[in-house]
């Protein structure tokens, strides 16, 4: 069938575009089981029996394409093919579809009747499957793709998978203490969590009986309806802890599977997520953190060098002490405002401009916010436990607001717009101070900092230092044993 489709695509391409020539590109495809517009990177979903599953097919490096062929393989005992909708990339595209067995597959060929693809990346189409009544979990695989550009056909074998898991939801039980009776002890526990929401310290999901993210009056009514009743524990389960967790990002799921020593695609429960205390998935192409809200015992999370933009899921992981989100695509950090147990937070190399929501993270000892878009750091003035603060490559001009951070030992302010360093005169524990590439001319405040002494480092290179700073202030610091780096990339200021 594949040869027939390719033959038809080739003939139609020649008829429709006889003079079209293009160089071969290294094209690639991706799958997304999230129906929202754009490639969200979801390659896993929790679904029920008789549920329609839509999979978006995205192409990259497909400019000038006039035809596409894709082959999906699946388990006919779990799902059935429902249909296909043409995407927006190929103008006025028409589809040819064929199904077969050994293994069960559906092959779809698309040919443009309206010209070549004028964009490089975009939606090829959406394929639909329906789960059967016997559904117990399965995978749908994009096994092969062909691309017709001009008179050339490129073919590539693939192994792109969408993992489908059984959706299991067990409502939280009002028997909070596990004695199988909803009684007064349960009421006291419920009262202790009442009037809280996700992200707050006293919120616990087991008291959120309607699972809406808030423990409020509707939950109280549910509790009252069950008061005095005996609660049986289903065999093989333990209430809400046995709930299967949906982790739609395949790369995040793989990291969690490895940490939990789970087989690929095996169900992961809420109880299992709660056992995680450390998770590292550096440079793993993770985009979606859904599922981590159940990792309520996490102490350390390292997700540096990924493609994460939304961190709101982490608002409920209030156990975190160390969080590394360096080198992602984050602009909004409001989801971290309730993580008040954090001691180390790494957010360098993102797109953050507003750090006001970090003002409540008063246990922080290390904070790295370098290479962002920050101009106002006044919100950091209350983080008085900070020992190391990195703010290089931002747009900061006023550092007087840092004057109260008297425990600082390392301060990196390289590549900003700072001219006045008087706010640093009282930071007497400083041992390393980077001020490279700013607009500082006078160093009297650093001479006044009595804590700067033998073995300490001050980097003043790339500043327009005044003649007095060069002839008087720097020698004064050097005489105390301070290692002062200086050398003008900017002309010295005449006095």
Listed range (131-140, 409-418, 430-439) with the worst mean pLDDT: 131-140
Q: Which residue has the tokens 């190391």?
A: 388
Q: What is the mean pLDDT of residues 328-341?
A: 93
**pLDDT band at 281; cut points 50, 70, 90:** very high
From the DSSP assignment, how many helices (H) and strands (E) are in the chain?
8, 22
**pLDDT band at 234; cut points 50, 70, 90:** very low
Last residue of a domain, one of 143, 166, 189: 166
Q: Alpha carbon 362 to chain centroid distance?
A: 24
pLDDT value, residue 206 = 81
Torsion, CA 194, CA 196, CA 200, CA 203, rounded to 10: 50
Residue 370 lies in a domain: no
Residue 259 lies in a domain: no
pLDDT value, residue 231 = 63
Last residue of a domain, one of 141, 166, 191: 166
Residue 473 lies in a domain: yes
**pLDDT band at 169; cut points 50, 70, 90:** very low
Q: What is the mean pLDDT of residues 414-442?
A: 97
pLDDT value, residue 49 = 75
Mean pLDDT estimate for the chain: 85
Residue 449 lies in a domain: yes
With 0-12 CB in 10 A as exposed, 13-18 as middle and 19+ as buried, what is 159? exposed
SS3 409: coil
Rounded to a whole number of angstroms, the distance between the first and last alpha carbons of the chain is: 84
CATH number at residue 88: 2.60.40.680
Q: Which residues of 422-455 are buried (b: 16+ CB within 10 A; e: fewer)?
A: ebbbbbeebbbbbbbbbbbbbbbbbbebeebeee
Q: What separation in angstroms does the CA of 91 have from each of 65, 88, 113?
A: 10, 7, 7
| Domain that includes residue 475, residue range | 375-495
30-58 residue pLDDT tens = 888 876 677 777 777 777 777 888 899 99
Last residue of a domain, one of 166, 182, 206: 166
- In sequence order, which residues have a C-beta less than 8 Å from that of residue 19 and are 6 or more positions away? none
CATH number at residue 395: 3.80.10.10
CA atoms within 13 A on the CB side of 85: 10
pLDDT value, residue 172 = 66
Q: What separation in angstroms does the CA of 407 have from each of 182, 360, 366, 369, 386?
A: 50, 17, 11, 18, 6
Q: What are phi and psi of 433, to 5 degrees?
A: -135, 115
Number of domains in the chain: 2
Structure tokens given for 209: 């009986």
354-405 residue pLDDT tens = 999 999 999 999 999 999 999 999 999 999 999 999 999 999 999 999 999 9
Residue 108 lies in a domain: yes
Q: What is d(CA 126, CA 31) in angstroms, rounded to the nearest whole number?
A: 9
pTM to 2 decimal places: 0.62
Structure tokens given for 330: 């984050």
Structure tokens given for 293: 């809200």
């Amino acid at each position: 069938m594949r040869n027939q489709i390719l033959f038809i695509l080739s003939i139609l391409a020649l008829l429709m575009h006889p003079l079209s020539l293009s160089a071969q590109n290294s094209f690639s495809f991706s799958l997304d089981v999230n129906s929202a517009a754009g490639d969200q990177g979801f390659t896993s979903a929790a679904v029920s029996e008789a549920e329609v599953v839509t999979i978006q097919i995205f192409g990259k490096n497909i400019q000038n394409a006039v035809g596409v062929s894709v082959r999906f393989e699946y388990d006919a005992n779990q799902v059935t093919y429902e249909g296909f909708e043409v995407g927006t990339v190929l103008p006025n595209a028409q589809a040819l579809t064929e199904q077969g067995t050994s293994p069960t597959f559906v092959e779809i060929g698309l040919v443009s009747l309206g010209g070549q693809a004028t964009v490089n990346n975009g939606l090829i189409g959406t394929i639909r499957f329906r789960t059967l009544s016997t559904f117990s979990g399965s995978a749908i695989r994009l096994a092969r793709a062909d691309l017709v550009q001009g008179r050339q056909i490129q073919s590539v074998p693939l192994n792109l998978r969408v993992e489908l898991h059984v959706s299991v939801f067990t409502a939280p039980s009002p028997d909070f203490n596990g004695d199988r009776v909803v009684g007064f002890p349960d009421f006291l526990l419920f009262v202790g969590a009442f009037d809280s929401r996700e992200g707050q310290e006293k919120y616990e999901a087991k008291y959120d009986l309607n699972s809406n993210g808030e423990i409020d009056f509707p939950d109280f009514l549910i509790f009252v309806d069950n008061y005095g009743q005996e609660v049986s524990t289903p065999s093989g389960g333990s209430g809400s802890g046995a709930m299967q967790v949906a982790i739609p990002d395949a790369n995040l799921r793989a990291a969690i599977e490895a940490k939990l020593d789970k087989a690929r695609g095996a169900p992961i429960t809420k109880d299992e997520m709660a056992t995680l205390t450390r998770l590292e998935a550096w440079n793993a192409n993770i985009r979606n953190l859904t599922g981590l809200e159940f990792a309520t015992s996490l102490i350390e999370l390292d997700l540096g060098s990924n493609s994460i933009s939304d961190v709101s899921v982490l608002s409920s992981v209030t156990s975190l002490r160390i969080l590394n989100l360096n080198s992602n695509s984050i602009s909004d950090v409001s989801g971290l405002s309730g993580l008040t147990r954090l001691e180390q937070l790494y957010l360098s190399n993102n797109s953050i401009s507003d750090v006001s929501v970090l003002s409540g993270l008063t246990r922080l000892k290390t904070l790295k916010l370098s290479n962002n878009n920050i101009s106002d750091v006044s919100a950091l003035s209350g983080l008085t436990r900070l020992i190391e603060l990195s703010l290089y490559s931002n747009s900061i001009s006023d550092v007087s607001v840092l004057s109260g951070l008297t425990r600082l030992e390392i301060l990196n302010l390289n590549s900003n717009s700072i001219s006045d360093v008087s706010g640093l005169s009282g930071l007497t524990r400083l041992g390393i101070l980077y001020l490279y590439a700013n607009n500082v001319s006078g160093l009297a405040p650093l001479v006044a900092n009595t804590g700067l002494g033998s073995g300490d480092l001050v980097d003043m290179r790339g500043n327009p230092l005044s003649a007095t700073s060069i002839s008087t202030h720097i020698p004064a610091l050097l005489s105390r044993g301070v290692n002062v780096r200086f050398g003008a990339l900017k002309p010295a200021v005449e006095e």
